[in-house]
C-alpha cells in the first residue's frame, strides 16, 4: 500500500512516477521497498490516466447514495427472453470477477 501512496504523492506533486522515485519515498518513510511490486505499479500507472481514475473513484464513493432505486431495471427485463437475460447476467458476473487497474496488483 505504501507504494500506491508514494505514486499518488508523486502524482499530486506533478513529479514523474518512476521506480526510483517510489523506492526513495518508501525508504524515506522507513519502509522496505519491494522492487517487483514497485515495477508492476509503475507499469500499471503508466498505462492509465490517473486524473480520470481518481475522478471516477470519487464518483464511485458517492454512487451508493444515489443508486437506491434498483427495482426499475427488473421491469425492463420482462419483455426479453430468458436466454438474453442469462447472457446479460453472465456478463455482469464476469465484470465483477475481473480485477482491473490497481486491483489486479492486490488480488
Residue 107: per-residue pLDDT = 52
- Grouping H, G, I as helix, E, B as strand and the rest as coil, residue 98 is coil
Q: What is the rounded CA–CA span in Å between residue 44 and residue 46?
A: 5
CB-based contacts of 3, cutoff 8 Å, min separation 6? 22, 26, 33, 34, 37, 38, 41
Quick one: pLDDT band at residue 89, thresholds 50, 70, 90? Answer: confident
Residue 66: per-residue pLDDT = 52
| pLDDT 10s digits, 10-63 | 999 999 999 999 999 999 999 999 999 999 999 998 888 888 888 887 766 665
Residue that is written with C-alpha cell 490516466 in the block:
49
Q: Which CATH number does 2-68 carry?
A: 1.10.10.1410
Amino acid at each position: 500500500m505504501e507504494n500506491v501512496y508514494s505514486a499518488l504523492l508523486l502524482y499530486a506533486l506533478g513529479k514523474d512516477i518512476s521506480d526510483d522515485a517510489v523506492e526513495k519515498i518508501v525508504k524515506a518513510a522507513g519502509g522496505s521497498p519491494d522492487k517487483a511490486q514497485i515495477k508492476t505499479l509503475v507499469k500499471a500507472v503508466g498505462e492509465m490516466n490517473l486524473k480520470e481514475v481518481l475522478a471516477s473513484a470519487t464518483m464511485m464513493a458517492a454512487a451508493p447514495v444515489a443508486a437506491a432505486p434498483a427495482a426499475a431495471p427488473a421491469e425492463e427485463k420482462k419483455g426479453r427472453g430468458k436466454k438474453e437475460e442469462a447472457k446479460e447476467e453472465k456478463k455482469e458476473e464476469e465484470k465483477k470477477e475481473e480485477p482491473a487497474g490497481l486491483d489486479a496488483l492486490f488480488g
